């Protein structure tokens, strides 16, 4: 970490750990962005499509999509609008509450995920290869504790 950040020392081990988590997150995010870009979508659009695939066939209103995103996107409405314009998502009024617009993934959106998923899975396998399943579980527990704080 000291070499990567060209920093001779850190104030505390916790300071170094936080920087390590942020750096690893940025690195993984860049990789997912690059994979998604190959199919003409952004990482945030990929995340929304992934969420909507999991909510099939009912779909979700934007507020519920926002609760499930990895990164909070203040422009979620614009992301969903762009996906709808490209035919990857369709929107309809909720049958239960006519005030809500519900987004559903389309067949075209599923086809995009079918093209992106193998590359994302390859990224996951690469991470598993580097750190192993045991360390991955430990990392998940540590990250959960960080999120809870």
Across the range 37-64, mean pLDDT stands at 93
Q: How confident is the model at residue 114 (pLDDT cuts 50, 70, 90)?
A: very high
Q: How many CB atoms neighbour CB 144 within 10 A?
A: 10
Q: How confident is the model at residue 125 (pLDDT cuts 50, 70, 90)?
A: very high
Across the range 33-47, mean pLDDT stands at 93
pTM for this predicted structure: 0.84
pLDDT at residue 149, as a whole number: 67
Q: Which CATH class is domain 2-148?
A: mainly alpha
Alpha helices in the chain (DSSP H): 2-5, 13-37, 43-54, 62-68, 76-85, 107-148
Across the range 112-140, mean pLDDT stands at 92
Q: How far is CA 63 from CA 3, 13, 121, 136, 147, in A?
A: 42, 38, 28, 30, 21
CB neighbours of 128 closer than 8 A, spacing ≥ 6?
Answer: 136
At 53-84, the pLDDT tens digits run 999 998 999 889 999 998 887 889 999 999 99
């Amino acid at each position: 970490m000291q070499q990567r950040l060209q920093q001779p020392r850190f104030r505390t081990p916790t300071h170094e750990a936080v920087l390590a988590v942020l750096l690893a997150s940025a690195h993984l995010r860049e990789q997912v962005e690059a994979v998604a870009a190959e199919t003409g979508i952004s990482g945030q659009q990929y995340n929304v499509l992934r969420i909507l695939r999991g909510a099939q066939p009912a779909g979700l209103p934007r507020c519920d999509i926002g609760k499930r995103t990895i990164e909070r996107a203040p422009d979620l409405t614009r992301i969903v609008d762009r996906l709808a314009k490209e035919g990857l998502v369709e929107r309809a009024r909720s049958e239960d509450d006519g005030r809500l617009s519900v987004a559903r993934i389309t067949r075209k959106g599923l086809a995009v995920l079918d093209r992106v998923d193998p590359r994302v899975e390859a990224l996951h396998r690469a991470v598993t290869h580097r750190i192993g399943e045991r360390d991955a579980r430990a990392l998940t527990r540590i990250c959960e504790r960080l999120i809870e704080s």
